């Protein structure tokens, strides 16, 4: 409660009555009234713009990045598998040479092989067909050389899967394909006595036309 008997309160009442002004609060009496606002000043300079952080990847960019990463991984795996395949193929070729010797030879993807049996042209074709092969028909010098080596080992001449039975003087493979390679001996073919429609191979690798009724070494081609 206010103590109107206190000297401070009585002095305040007296001042109010004599001056007609509003009473001052205890805070105003103790600290004084606030002063006038100071003069306005210009605004400070605007600060520099900070460095912008790099923009993040969009969802599509992230997906594409993952795709390329996976693609690179698959390409690496393919290269490794191709290298392993080459090693395996080389090993298989070596094994084939060991297994085929002395009755067979490999040239590229072809295998030439004999069991040492003999037959005329028609019999030779039939026997080869029964084993899933064909009567040997060289398409180039490397294949002819392989057949020659088999001939030299067995000392027997074979028939090739080549003849001119259909049209005299026009020799073809069994599938009707025209010859793209030949290795005829000198003055051959000569169709001696008009009976030589088949082709045999000498130990030199040279070809000679011969009667299809003769018996020759059977060499299979796979």
Tell me the pLDDT tens digit for each residue of 52-84: 666 666 767 767 777 778 888 888 989 999 999
Say which range, 45-49, 148-152, 203-207, has the weakest mean pLDDT.
Answer: 45-49
pLDDT at 88: 87
pLDDT at 8: 66
Sign of CA dihedral 207, 213, 214, 218: positive
pLDDT band per the 50, 70, 90 thresholds, residue 24: very low
> Looking at per-residue confidence, does 23 or 163 come out higher?
163
CA distance 99 to 81: 26
pLDDT at 186: 97
CA distance 175 to 159: 16
Does the structure show a pLDDT above 50 at 26? no
Does the structure show a pLDDT above 90 at 110? yes
In the chain, pLDDT over 70 holds for what percent of residues?
74
This model's pTM is above 0.75:
no
Q: Which own/partner pairs from 142-146 qualify as long-range (CB within 8 Å, at least 24 positions apart)?
A: 142/107, 142/108, 143/107, 143/110, 143/112, 144/181, 144/183, 144/201, 144/205, 145/107, 145/205, 146/105, 146/106, 146/107, 146/110, 146/112
Most confident of 36-45, 65-74, 199-208: 199-208
Distance between alpha carbon 96 and the CA centroid of its chain, in Å?
27
> Looking at per-residue confidence, does 30 or 72 come out higher?
72
Give the mean model confidence (pLDDT) for residues 27-43.
Answer: 59
pLDDT at 33: 56
> Looking at per-residue confidence, does 100 or 88 come out higher?
88
């Amino acid at each position: 409660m206010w103590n109107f008997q206190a000297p401070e309160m009585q002095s305040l009442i007296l001042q109010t009555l004599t001056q007609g002004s509003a009473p001052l609060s205890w805070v105003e009496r103790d600290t004084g009234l606030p002063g006038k606002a100071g003069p306005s000043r210009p605004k400070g300079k605007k600060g520099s713009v900070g460095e912008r952080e790099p923009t993040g990847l969009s969802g599509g960019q992230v997906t594409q990045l993952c795709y390329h990463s996976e693609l690179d991984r698959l390409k690496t795996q393919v290269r490794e598998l191709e290298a392993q395949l080459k090693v395996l193929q080389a090993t298989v070729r070596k094994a084939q040479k060991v297994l085929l010797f002395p009755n067979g030879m490999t040239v590229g993807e072809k295998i030439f092989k004999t069991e040492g049996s003999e037959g005329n042209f028609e019999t030779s074709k039939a026997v080869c067909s029964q084993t899933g092969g064909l009567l040997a028909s060289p398409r180039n010098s490397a294949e002819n050389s392989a057949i020659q080596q088999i001939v030299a080992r067995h000392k027997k001449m074979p028939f090739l899967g080549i003849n001119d039975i259909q049209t005299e003087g026009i020799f073809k493979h069994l599938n009707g394909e025209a010859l793209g390679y030949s290795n005829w001996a000198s003055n051959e073919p000569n169709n001696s006595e008009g009976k030589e429609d088949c082709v045999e191979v000498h130990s030199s690798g040279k070809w000679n036309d011969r009667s299809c009724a003769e018996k020759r070494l059977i060499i299979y081609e796979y």
